[in-house]
A = this chain, B = another copy of it.
């Protein structure tokens, strides 16, 4: 009998689980928010992930439930567990992916390296934090932010009055997270996978290049990361996975500060953009590993297949010319490049695909990846 994994959400992360599921003969079922989503090739039900009967009916058709995103409400997750549904990651872990304030509290409790932070509920609190941190800081909404949304760099106590007002109107005793503006030389990400039985697999630490708060490019492994830097990144991510009890794939975004510390920036408890390189670049992709982990099967080897792998996101999609014309041009110039097209409608700034190239020479690999991605987008170049 086939193993069956249910995925809540049908975006590109669910979509990229399909090849891994097809290879392994795992049945993948997806609960999509709407018709025509990225993962629609899998067996799709359409329904609201905030509606318990919908999610429960879906969950009862699968062996294990997992996620394309972290937005399923806690009360639904907990009711699923009460009903005997196997859910990975579980609600206790997902809580920290859903609420940045709880995440910071938990990471502080675990003694893990994080930026200075505070919970603030009004301009006076922000003023105090700014005063103590050189007059600038980052304010984040505790919930609902992603890809740079819900994040604001501030230098004045009234810079997020609109958010305070919204919290007050909500009346849920909400608060904002304020963090020191970290001086970093670069951003890294450490992706790991953890099974319910405790087994952990660790990919090489990668460098992530952001543009406008969104991941634009990933270099695997991160240049100059051999030795202790990689060990520290691994230790941090494993400590998070174990300390929070994450099951499945966990991505830990890290700042490498100008004074050479690694500080945790964000967590994602699912396959993550910083791990897309692993589809073509590692023996086991993060998508196959996630399926293995949530099914509590032994994890696969996570070594890199080439000395260097570079992944570049495609934004905004093919806006002029047919997809066939784009492919004709890109494939003719770059026969080594692997192209991933999420089948999503194009909107400026939206991630609609990525490309990956592996090889021995980082400059060459990065050039090919960047040049190919460029051929699929009409927006301004990623690397101006």
Q: Give the B-binding residues of A (Cβ under 8 A).
A: 1-3, 15-16, 18-19, 22-25, 41-43, 279, 283-284, 292, 295, 297-301, 305-306, 322-324, 327-328, 331-332, 335-336, 338-343, 353
Contact B3–A324 (Cβ < 8 Å): yes
B331 in contact with A297 (CB, 8 Å): yes
Identify which of B22, B43, B305 contacts A18 (C-beta below 8 A): B22
Please name all residues of chain B whose beta carbon is closer than 8 Å to the beta carbon of A300 when the two chains form the complex.
331, 335-336
Closest residue on chain B to residue A20 by CB atoms: B19
Residue from B1, B306, B341 in contact with A322 in the complex, judged by beta carbons closer than 8 Å: B1
Question: How close is A75's CB to chain B, nearest CB, in angstroms?
Answer: 31
Contacts of A284 in B (CB 8 A): 335
User: What would 17 A/B residue contacts be, using CB atoms closer than 8 Å?
Assistant: A15-B22, A18-B22, A19-B19, A23-B339, A23-B340, A23-B341, A24-B327, A25-B340, A25-B342, A41-B43, A284-B335, A292-B331, A297-B328, A298-B335, A301-B335, A301-B336, A305-B306
Inter-chain CA distance A284–B283, complex, in Å, is 15
Whole-angstrom distance between the alpha carbons of A284 and B285 in the complex? 16
Contacts A324-B3, A343-B2 given; indicate if A25 touches B298 (C-beta within 8 A): no
Q: Chain B CB within 10 Å — which of A322, A324, A342 has the most?
A: A324
Which chain B positions have C-beta within 8 A of A41? 18, 22, 41-43
The distance in angstroms between the C-alpha atoms of A335 and B336, with both chains bound, is: 26
The distance from the CB of A127 to the nearest CB of chain B, in whole angstroms, is: 50
Report the nearest B residue to A41, measured CB to CB: B22
User: Smallest CB–CB gap between A35 and chain B, Å?
Assistant: 14
Q: What residue of chain B has the Cβ atom nearest to residue A23's Cβ?
A: B340
Contact of A338 among B23, B298, B299 (CB under 8 A): B23
Closest CB of chain B to A200's CB: distance in Å? 13
Q: Chain B nearest CB: distance from A172 CB in Å?
A: 40
A336-B283 Cα distance, complex, nearest whole Å? 7
Docked CA distance A18–B21 (Å): 11
CB closest chain-B residue, reference A43: B41
Distance between Cα atoms of A172 and B283 in the complex (Å) = 53
Contacting residues, chain B, for A43 (C-beta < 8 A): 41
Say yes or no: A341 contacts B25, CB within 8 Å: yes
Contact yes or no, A353 B322, CB < 8 A: no
Q: Which residue of B lies closest to A18 (CB)?
A: B22
Q: Are B298 and A328 in contact (CB under 8 A)?
A: yes
Chain B residues lying within 8 Å of A338, measured Cβ to Cβ, are 23, 283
Please tell me if the beta carbons of A323 and B353 are within 8 angstroms of each other in the complex: no
